[in-house]
Amino acid sequence: MLIRVFYCGDQDHTPGLVDRARMTAVYASYSENPCVFERFETIEAMMPALQESIESQDVCAVYVSPALYLEMKMKVFEYLEMSTSISVDILDLLPESFPASRKEQYSLFPPSTVMFPSEDGINTAFCTATGRGNFILIPVYEGSVSVTQTKIADWFARKTVLAPSPDEPQVKLCKDAAGILFRRHLAVGVANSPTAEYIRVPARAGGEKYAACFKFVDTRPAPSDLTPRELTAKLAADAAWEENSELGCAMSNIYRVQKEGAVQHLVYVSVVCGGETAVSRVTSAGEEMSAFLKRAAKELFALIICAVTDRPIKSDNTDFDVF
């Protein structure tokens, strides 16, 4: 992962409440780049660096004083053009004395946001997908940080399975898929599911031009009555729609099933191309989880290749050898 960490607020107050040694160790455990806390006193001063970070990092974490929390949250949502809805869980925690308009702002979050609420809901730390990676906002106030930092550390621990080192066959198959897309001037919308890192990491390992063929997008909440196969197909279709592309793909959550007394894991992968949908189920075969998910990602890359191979190559004198 690439991780960047910021402070924003009173320089004498905010940093002192954060266990920097501990959190630096947490970030360093997962980051490919050195992690230092970058300090800014105002949101305006921080925004250029923050915007660049959101576009280039897997995780952007911001520690902010309560006085700046709401403004920071709304500015990030606006910058990322995120659709939001009211979280009833947070709304129920907010004080009754809050004006209605303030309650709405404090309880607005994008779909699939992981929230770490305070007791009164006002200072809710949260993590949300940005399309490129994840954005974490952590309000810093007396008595909150140790608990919040534990939750953030736990969140990173859960993400470790989703930060794989790509193997050579996985990268090669990803490059093959990207090459076919590139020559046809196509990009594929990729649903930002919990397993999407197994697509993102090999794409990035192939180089910037390969990675540019895969556009990671947030998708709309799906109906709860869909089967895993139907849900994965819908995620792929929604990814194509969000990216305004005829091509979309998705890799599902990990499902557990009992078969003959043994636990098996299932992942569904789907590709939508020109209105046609392909879905494949990948079943674990006793290997480690990371190896299983890499195999599922390779199945997805193979589906992309099958879906677009017969489409005409664009003749614009593109020198594919330098891709």
Number of domains in the chain: 2
Element (H, E) at 127: strand 125-129
Separation of alpha carbons 80 and 130, rounded Å: 7
Domain check: are 177 and 294 in the same one? yes
Domain check: are 145 and 251 in the same one? no
Domain check: are 148 and 230 in the same one? no
Domain check: are 175 and 276 in the same one? yes
Domain check: are 28 and 173 in the same one? no
Separation of alpha carbons 50 and 52, rounded Å: 5
Domain check: are 246 and 114 in the same one? no
Could you report the per-residue pLDDT of 293-317, keeping only the tens digit for each?
Answer: 889 999 999 999 999 887 654 444 3
Domain check: are 85 and 132 in the same one? yes
Cβ contact 276:257 at 8 Å:
no
Residue 323: pLDDT band with limits 50, 70, 90: very low
Residues 248-260: b if buried by 16+ CB within 10 A, e if exposed: bbbbbebeeeeee
Separation of alpha carbons 240 and 271, rounded Å: 9
Q: Which of 26-30, 154-158, 243-247 has the highest mean pLDDT?
A: 243-247
Q: CATH number of the domain that 261 lies in? A: 3.90.950.20
Domain final residue, candidates 117, 141, 159: 159
Mean pLDDT of 5-33: 66
Domain that holds residue 86: 3-159
Residue 82: pLDDT band with limits 50, 70, 90: confident
Domain final residue, candidates 130, 159, 188: 159
Cβ contact 265:292 at 8 Å:
yes
Domain final residue, candidates 124, 159, 194: 159
Domain check: are 124 and 205 in the same one? no
Specify the length of the chain in residues: 323
| pLDDT score at 139 | 86
Domain check: are 272 and 191 in the same one? yes
Q: 317: which residues sit within 8 A by CB, 6+ positions away?
A: none
Domain check: are 141 and 101 in the same one? yes
Domain check: are 90 and 172 in the same one? no
15 has pLDDT over 70: no
179 has pLDDT over 80: yes
Could you report the per-residue pLDDT of 89-146, keeping only the tens digit for each?
Answer: 899 999 888 888 888 999 999 877 888 888 888 888 898 877 667 888 988 876 665 5
| pLDDT score at 22 | 60
How is residue 275 annotated by DSSP? T
Domain check: are 175 and 304 in the same one? yes
pTM: 0.54
Residue 161: pLDDT band with limits 50, 70, 90: very low
131's torsion region: left (phi>0), alpha (psi -120 to 50) or beta? Answer: left
Could you report the per-residue pLDDT of 232-270, keeping only the tens digit for each?
Answer: 999 999 999 988 898 999 998 888 777 777 778 889 999
